[in-house]
Structure 1
Amino acid sequence: MRAAVLNGFDERPVIGEIDLGDILPQEVRIRTAATGVCHSDRFGQTGGNPHLELPAVLGHEAAGEVLEVGSAVTSVRPGDHVVVAPAGSCGTCTWCSQGHPQHCANLMRVRAPGLGSRLVRDGDPVTQYVGIGSFAEEMLVQASSVAQVPKEMPLDRAALLGCAVITGLGAVRHSAAVRLGQSVAVIGCGGVGLSAIQGAVLSGASRVIAIDRMPEKLAMATSFGATDVVDASTTDPVQAVLDLTGGVDHVIEVVGMPSTIEQSFAMLGTRGTATVVGLGRPGDTAALPTTAFLGERRIQGSRLGGTQLRVDVPLYARMYLTGRLDLDPLLGRTIGLDAVGEALDELHHATAARTVVTF
């Protein structure tokens, strides 16, 4: 099958032929229909993930059709339409048992020693990025990474549920637990940030402030329900938020830079909470004023929005199909597999919410 293989960090993936290994009992083989191009993929491409071994197939936000299931798989069957996400879990460790599968102690993103690799090129193993590797015509993944969606759900929209939506909307629902009437600021209005804005609107936030450096993304944020926008390229975002609200109840930080994490904490009002969703680079540090904690301000992280994959993905799919969740504007443009390298290079200045590879 054709796949985009990353052979060296800071290089573009190369389109070539790779093979799938034999399916194991707890695995699912899927024909890829669509997969998003996410900043996390760029993070892996540039060496930001210290656990990524090369060569590797990037891509982790996907949807497709089940072709084959392992002998122990009962959750899906051939012909089902599914979303694939880096949310696999063992289901039995301490964190899974407490309802926090995003912190699973045994993610099973790679096979146990002696069981071979799921992806092979010329007899040598190829790594799947975060256990998925969706920049390929087919995927062979752990069954716990898969959630079924209705067949009437368009698969290019369904792919967005594999990361952007579950992370952004989930951060609002699960991690921040935004309540009716509270105020929310969102720093970064890409696919994840726009999903967080939708989540804030759905939660009944009284004020939703969108912050970005690109006017095009701020315009999209308004269409998703933001009540105010702040252009951080021309305005001090902290002062702007304080002028608008005196300090917000929640900030959802989606950029992952030390400066924006510091800004998120500075925007809070008394007893406010900053939820950091953005992926920072190893070694980055942020400085916080200690006296601010006297106001009972809090800062926390959010991993994959605290998502329960097989609960949340079907829910969001139904919400889309009934008109309560808008995914169409998130799909900025579609490309073919050959254009993945270019799309990764353009991520930092892309004005579209999400670029999606379709097969």
Structure 2
Amino acid sequence: MQQVRAVVARAKGAPVEIVTINVPDPGPGEAVVKVLTCGVCHTDLHYREGGINDEFPFLLGHEASGIVEAVGPDVTGVAPGDFVVLNWRAVCAECRACKRGDLHYCFATHNAQQRMTLAEGPDAGTELSPALGIGAFAEKTLVAAGQCTKVDPAARPAAVGLLGCGVMAGIGAAINTGAVTRGRSIAVIGCGGVGVAAIAGAALAGASPIIAVDIDAKKLKTAKKMGATHTIDSSPLSGLDPVTEIKRICAETYEGADGADVVVEAVGRPETWQQAFYARDLAGTLVLVGVPTPDMKVPDIPLIDVFGRGGALKSSWYGDCLPSRDFPMLVDLYLQGRLDLDAFVSEEIGLSDVEAAFERMHHGDVLRSVVVL
């Protein structure tokens, strides 16, 4: 067992704390990873605010890269010294989805069996709930070995670590879930980290037009840099209706188009989901990748509109990715200069800066703050 520093959320809405935790030696199917970098994701904030569940205290952090330090006795997929990106889809190979060949929909993904615990104070020994089964705002973390995906060690850790969640979720929402490709149009509503990643994925796939929608001019400027061909300011002051504008832009590109072939909703709110629903072309696809809160409901849309527009209404969980397939491919594209993952790293910070990074996230000042250890 080792003791390391880590960022923990003890109670709903309370500021995070840096504490000392116990990291067990790896058992069967487990690995201890020395964390190099970890992005500050909205999901971590959801955990802190009690928006995921109430299993406090949480060990936050999950968008991480690191070096495998030790593995359990039966682990063969990774070895000490491997440079890895951590993932939260360690497939089981036994569930119904896996057995039918849909590993990217695995219903029983693996996490470490042992629990990391608080090391000091009156609550020493209390088990921690690691965010998404990872818990990487820590100098070292214990994970299932299948959560370690080997990638090219030539890559910049702060950049490729973001594939562990937000960037993969966005790219995958466009390419895997939305199946966007050449000759197809896409609109992305919400241009934070995940939305901009969806735009980057659409650009990789050759989609056109690629329409970015947001209320923040700074985010639209970033979206343009990452591949958006058109931007729509949907703030109240602009006076623009995003649905009307998306339809207009697509009709200018493809005769007869009545919206985008794919609309990615990267906000996670009923009103933007409704915009995405009506901004689709006939037989178009809506992809929900923004994370809603439990109290939100699907808008009151006439069922005849659901039937009459056809197409598909999908949710994208982790970009429908298979880490062992997608992470190495995207890292290779990054190293070839075809995918600018560096552009997602707004700042590099320390463990003690996580709470301040949450505040900057609220104000939309960053794509990603990345903790560097």
Provide the TM-score with structure 2 as the length reference. 0.91
Question: Which runs of 5 or more structure 2 residues have no equivalent in the other structure?
Answer: 251-257
Q: Deviation digits for residues 51-71 of structure 1, max 9, x if unmatched? A: x51111111110011111111
Matched with 1:297 is 311
1:134-149 matches, within 5 Å, as 134-149=136-151
Kindly provide the amino acid, as one letter, of the partner of residue 7 in structure 2. Answer: A
Matched with 2:220 is 218
| 2:46 is the counterpart of 1:43 | yes
User: 1:86 aligned to 85, 88, 106, which one?
Assistant: 88
Matched with 1:311 is 325
SS of match in other structure, 1:117: coil
Query: What is the rounded CA distance, in whole Å, between the counterparts of 1:242 and 1:351 in structure 2?
Result: 30
Contact 1:331 1:353 in 2 (8 A): yes
User: 2:274 aligned to 250, 255, 262, which one?
Assistant: 262
User: 1:194 aligned to 172, 193, 196, which one?
Assistant: 196
User: 1:34 aligned to 21, 34, 37, which one?
Assistant: 37
1:31-180 matches, within 5 Å, as 31-50=34-53, 52-109=54-111, 111=113, 116-121=114-119, 122-180=124-182
Kindly provide the amino acid, as one letter, of the partner of residue 260 in structure 1. Answer: T
Contact 2:48 2:58 in 1 (8 A): no
SS of match in other structure, 2:334: helix
Kindly provide the amino acid, as one letter, of the partner of residue 323 in structure 1. Answer: G
Contact 1:230 1:237 in 2 (8 A): yes
Kindly provide the amino acid, as one letter, of the partner of residue 130 in structure 2. Answer: Q
| 2:252 is the counterpart of 1:238 | no
SS of match in other structure, 2:346: strand
SS of match in other structure, 1:83: strand
Matched with 1:273 is 285
Query: What is the rounded CA distance, in whole Å, between the counterparts of 1:239 and 1:289 in structure 2?
Result: 19
Going from structure 1 to structure 2, the CA distance change for 1:49 and 1:102 (only over 3 Å counts) comes to farther
| 2:20 is the counterpart of 1:17 | yes
Contact 1:87 1:101 in 2 (8 A): no
SS of match in other structure, 1:140: strand
User: 1:322 aligned to 317, 336, 343, which one?
Assistant: 336
SS of match in other structure, 1:91: coil
Query: What is the rounded CA distance, in whole Å, between the counterparts of 1:283 and 1:162 in structure 2?
Result: 27
Question: Which runs of 5 or more structure 1 residues have no equivalent in the other structure?
Answer: none
Query: What is the rounded CA distance, in whole Å, between the counterparts of 2:97 and 2:295 in structure 1?
Result: 26
Counting matched residue pairs gives 354
SS of match in other structure, 1:18: strand
Q: What is the CA distance between 1:219 and its match in structure 2?
A: 0.7
Deviates most, 285-294 or 255-264:
285-294
User: 1:183 aligned to 182, 185, 192, which one?
Assistant: 185
Going from structure 1 to structure 2, the CA distance change for 1:192 and 1:130 (only over 3 Å counts) comes to same
Kindly provide the amino acid, as one letter, of the partner of residue 349 in structure 1. Answer: H
Query: What is the rounded CA distance, in whole Å, between the counterparts of 2:206 and 2:185 in structure 1?
Result: 9
Aligned-residue identity in percent: 37
List structure 1 runs of 4+ shifted beyond 3 angstroms: 99-103, 118-121
Matched with 1:285 is 297
Kindly provide the amino acid, as one letter, of the partner of residue 14 in structure 1. Answer: E
Q: What is the CA distance between 1:102 and its match in structure 2?
A: 4.6
Contact 1:35 1:134 in 2 (8 A): yes
Matched with 1:3 is 6
Q: What is the CA distance between 1:203 and its match in structure 2?
A: 1.3
Query: What is the rounded CA distance, in whole Å, between the counterparts of 2:103 and 2:11 in structure 1?
Result: 31
Q: What is the CA distance between 1:357 and its match in structure 2?
A: 0.7
Q: What is the CA distance between 1:164 and its match in structure 2?
A: 1.8
SS of match in other structure, 1:275: strand
Going from structure 1 to structure 2, the CA distance change for 1:34 and 1:202 (only over 3 Å counts) comes to same
SS of match in other structure, 1:161: helix
Query: What is the rounded CA distance, in whole Å, between the counterparts of 1:221 and 1:340 in structure 2?
Result: 25
Query: What is the rounded CA distance, in whole Å, between the counterparts of 1:102 and 1:41 in structure 2?
Result: 23
Query: What is the rounded CA distance, in whole Å, between the counterparts of 1:202 and 1:98 in structure 2?
Result: 29
Q: Deviation digits for residues 77-112 of structure 1, max 9, x if unmatched? A: 11111000222221221112234345433223352x
Contact 1:187 1:260 in 2 (8 A): yes
Matched with 1:336 is 350
SS of match in other structure, 2:325: helix
Matched with 1:249 is 261
CA RMSD of aligned residues (A): 1.4
Going from structure 1 to structure 2, the CA distance change for 1:120 and 1:16 (only over 3 Å counts) comes to closer
Matched with 1:355 is 369
SS of match in other structure, 1:281: coil
Q: What is the CA distance between 1:294 and its match in structure 2?
A: 1.0
Kindly provide the amino acid, as one letter, of the partner of residue 321 in structure 2. Answer: T
Contact 2:184 2:261 in 1 (8 A): yes
Q: What is the CA distance between 1:264 and its match in structure 2?
A: 0.7
SS of match in other structure, 1:29: strand
